Amino acid sequence: MTDHLTVVEFDDDEAVAEAMAGLDEAGATRGGLFRRAGAVAGGLGVAAAIVPGFLGATANAREGGSKKEDVKILNFALTLEYLEAAFYAEAVNRGVYSGSVLNFAQVVASHEATHVATLKSVLGSKAVAKPSFDFKGTTKKWSTFLRTAKVLEDTGVAAYQGQAPRIHQNAVLGPAAAILAVEARHAAWVRDLLYAGKSVKPAPEAFSTPQSMSAILAAVKKTGFIKS
Amino acid sequence: MTFLHRESQVDLTDVVAFDVDGALQETAEEARRQSRRMFLRRSGGAALGGAALVAGMGSSTAMAATPKGDVAIANFALTLEYLESAFYAGALKHAGLTGEHKRLARTVHQHEAAHVAALKKMLGSAAVKRPSFDFGSSVMSQSAFTATAIKLEDTGVQAYQGQAAFIKSQAVFKAALSIHPVEARHAAWIRNIGGMAPAPAAFNPALTKSQVLAAVGATGFIKA
């Protein structure tokens, strides 16, 4: 059963499948998520300054997409990072972990907080506000903490991979690709902590599978972790 | 901020801990010193040099509609995957791997072989040929295997990341995106086994093609 844990793990009553039927509507009515994604982010100049560090390339526009869509994608990413950062912060603040689990929680909490700060600075005034979260006690015990972390990290990888081809500006692609790889490292790390020597592998497949924004949002919504 | 390094490098200081006989550090230092110009001059006819990558581009049929730059990038990736695949095959044969090391090597070898097959299929007649390799002592012990695997996987992640912005075709881009996070998972896995930070930074650094070629060239793993 643990061999194929995915975001669908949370989909006990097939609500994800149901929600996916009305994807576009779900995205459009997603409260504060995308409402402010109206125009080009003033902060994109920051990303342009960052990009050589990620890609060694100039900040050219890519085919497809638009600057407006990039803002939407960045806010989608920011929302996921808010969620991850808050989740790991709660785990660390419980003060119950030690050793490799604490190390994992602390390092990843720091990374996700950095992702939040960077995405916020890139988006500037276009950044969505941080939602409030309820992780429903999943950070209390190491087993549920790590199992939930695994789902969140695998979801993060699928989310960034799904959005990368839709990104218009290389200035946005740079940070996205740099984060994609780090989320994948987190995912492999937590899998190794959970399942070393067992059938579940840190790298389960030769090819990683992307997920659409709508599918990710539906899965995240189903967790009930986002209160508002 | 630490993630703003312009010249991203493999974390050589971490590799050193595993580099029992100093050989890896030596080649890594050499790679560091090597300028792009020096590399190109030295590797004129070598398999990884520009000549071989360009040679494959003329006869493309499967990728006839694909921009030449994408064909070159795909062949660059294929060369790295050939190398990784052969490395794990060699280690499984000679390094006397046990436990998690063996499990990782078997799994990752399958993945790299699948990457080779997928890239070859995508490139069709434009695919570069498989070079011959000599991994020397790096596949002769578990500790040498671990140190080398960490370096190869970290470099693989940085290589895919460095090329992302240059890929024009969505098909090639999506193929690269399906491999990039898998290489990152490999890197984190072998690092954790080796007792190193699986995710050493909040932002994964990228390497340019010439930086990757210089690093690979300096290992001496590619014979022809």
Tell the residue number behind the tokens 């996921």, with chain if given. Answer: A80
Say if CB B42 and CB B222 are below 8 A apart.
no
- Residues in CB range of B65: below 8 A, 6 or more apart: none
pLDDT higher than 50, residue B11? no
Instruction: Supply angle C-alpha A31, A32, A38, rounded to 5.
Output: 115
**Over residues A125-132, mean pLDDT:** 97
* pLDDT for residue B101: 96
Query: Looking at the predicted complex, does its ipTM rise above 0.90?
Result: no
Chain A residues touching B3 at Cβ < 8 A: 50, 53, 114, 118, 178
DSSP state at residue A14:
S
User: What pTM did the predictor assign?
Assistant: 0.77
A117 lies within 8 A of chain B by CB: no
Q: Give B99→chain A minimum CA distance, Å.
A: 8
Three-class SS state of A22 = coil
Q: Which pLDDT tens digit goes with each residue over B95-124? A: 999 999 999 999 999 999 999 999 999 999
Q: Which pLDDT tens digit goes with each residue over A63-100? A: 778 999 999 999 999 999 999 999 999 999 999 999 99
Chain A residues touching B198 at Cβ < 8 A: 185-186, 188-189, 192
The CB density around residue B132, as the number of other CB atoms within 10 Å, is: 11
A56 lies within 8 A of chain B by CB: yes
Residue B155 and residue A79: Cα distance in Å, rounded?
30
**Over residues B77-83, mean pLDDT:** 98
Residue type for position A206: A
pLDDT higher than 80, residue B80? yes
Q: Do A53 and B4 touch (CB under 8 A)?
A: yes
Q: Do A114 and B3 touch (CB under 8 A)?
A: yes
Say if CB A104 and CB A193 are below 8 A apart.
yes
Residue B189 and residue B185: Cα distance in Å, rounded?
6
Residue B184 and residue A115: Cα distance in Å, rounded?
17
Q: Do A181 and B184 touch (CB under 8 A)?
A: yes
Q: Do B170 and A165 touch (CB under 8 A)?
A: yes
Residue B107 and residue A191: Cα distance in Å, rounded?
14
Exposed, middle or buried, B222 (CB in 10 Å: 0-12/13-18/19+)? buried
